[in-house]
Amino acid sequence: MSTTAKPTVLILCTGNSCRSHLAEGILRTVAGDVLDVQSAGSKPAGYVHPLAIAALKEIGIDISTHRSKSMTEFMGQKVETVITVCGNADQACPIFPGQVNRHHWPFEDPAHAPGTDAERLEVFRRVRDEIRRTFTAYAHGRRDQSKAK
């Protein structure tokens, strides 16, 4: 199956440094064969948070080559589903060409966690696990939906 044949799911957050990359890495791992998974931000931070990279590496997902992108990079593309993972991105989210679905699943921003690196990593792990549960369930639903067609 070619990449263009797969529906594009765009995961949006404000900074595109933590939550959207956690979700992109997880969803791409569990449903990349049936979905073209991307992420972007309304105000990109310009980097992917090192603790987000570390938290996913612990579960065998490598996002070390990801980059922080602006949602404007996707404005001319056909985006079937937009999923916002923070309140600010939900408010700033435009309608994309070909958009059929929109979901808003807010998660705590682990980038603002206080404490030592070890304490902050614990917050990243908790948010990662919440995102993993939500996006794995979504992937199963999409897979069931594609089988039904």
Residues labelled as active-site residues: 13, 86, 93
Q: Which residue has the tokens 């900074």?
A: 15
Please state the length of the chain. Answer: 149
Q: Count other Cβ atoms within 10 Å, centred on residue 11.
A: 30
Q: Which two tokens stand for residue 64?
A: 């070390």
Closest by CA to 18, choosing from 92, 133, 102, 125, is 125
Q: Report, in angstroms and rounded to the nearest whole number, the Rg of the chain calculated over CA atoms.
A: 15
